[in-house]
Structure formats: C-alpha cells, structure tokens
Amino acid sequence: MSLPKINPTQTKAWQKLQAHFNDIKDIKMTTLFAKDSGRSEQLRIIWDDFFVDYSKNRLTPKTLQLLNDLAEELHLDQAINAQFKGEVINETENRKVLHTALRALNNEQLLVDNADIVHKISEVKGKIQSFTDAVVSGENKGYTGKPFTDIVNVGVGGSDLGPSMVVESLQYYKNHLNIHPVKWIDQVLEYALETMPKPVDDKELATAVSESEKDTKAAITH
C-alpha cells in the first residue's frame, strides 16, 4: 500500500489555515488570555506524569480545528493505521515500517506474515538487557579479561542521533561507562580514539553498531 500523496498546500484546509494565520499573527498573548479565562486548562495535555502546556503559543481552538481538518483532508489516519498494521509503506525499499512494534507493550500483538513479531521483539529485548547488564556489572569482559570502561556507538542518522540524545538526557544517571558517538564510516575508530577526552585502553573498549535494519548499505558497511 502506498501512502496518500496529497500536496497539503493545495488543500482547502491549508487555505483556511493561511487566512487564519493572517487573522491572529499580530495578536498578543495577554489578549488571548483575557478573552478566555480557561485557556490554560483547555490548551494542555496531561497523561500520567507527562504534561505539555501549549497555551502560551499564538493559537486558538479554531487553530486546532483547522489542523484537524487538514489531517482529515490528507487522510493522515489512513497513513497511521497502515504503519501500525505493518503494511508496506516504504516504497523506496518495498518494506514495512515497524518502528512502532519496537515500542509495543509485551502483551500487544502485531501479526506480520502470520507471525507475532511483538513476541519475537520482546525476546530480543530480553537478550539485550541481559547482555548490557553483564557489561555494566563487569561480568562480560574484553578478550584480555579487563572490564569495559568505554563504548563507541557507530551509527548514521537516527541510529546516531537517538543514542546520543539518550546519553545526553540521562547524564544524571550515568554509570562508570563512557559513551562516544561516531557518525558513519567516515569517522573511523582511530579518529574516535583521538578525540576522546582521556586516553582509552583499547582492551577496555567495546564498539556498538546501531542500525535499524541489518541489510541496509550503512549496516553492511559498518
């Protein structure tokens, strides 16, 4: 299945959004709050410990309605459902896009070619956790018997940005391991070692290759 190919700028909803933008582009925040005393409660998202307050942006309930109209005119719901169902939507490589399955709960089910891939993913996640726990604890060691002190993550695009963002955002919980990102094959391991903040014994170094697919050009090269 191919995704809907509709130019958003050619839709009726887009034209209405442009007109709406011109109507509110110069309005002040104080005016918006003065006109609507419940603005803070209306324009926010609360889900468990997740809280987003977007009331202090130049938008109104009409803005949200027009954005919903745009999503409907573009058939966004069809595209979302196609991805979650595991349909072939990556036309370039003729493959499914199953990032959502990686985030699925263990009790969920997603059948691909009559096989529940969520169960398989859960098993792999368990193996990854066991391996990483062993590296952190020092149970898994390098070939000389020394525990690892540094990890080089090799990845391109999201396989670089994702781990880098996680490492940066969770610095407060950092353990003894030092993480060093390397972008793509042009940043060879020697370069990574040279740019590390402290000398690293390569006997205490582990290299992780991050790839979303095992048979892409990047994965094969790495």
Digit-coded pLDDT (tens) for 68-126: 999 999 999 999 998 888 888 888 888 888 888 888 888 888 888 788 888 889 999 99
Domain boundaries, the chain: 8-97, 106-140, 146-221
**Which residues share a beta bridge with 205?**
150
Residue range 146-221 forms a domain whose CATH class is alpha beta
Calculate the alpha carbon distances from 53 to 44, 113, 146 in Å.
4, 42, 49
Digit-coded pLDDT (tens) for 137-166: 989 888 888 888 888 887 777 778 888 899
**Which residues share a beta bridge with 170?**
none
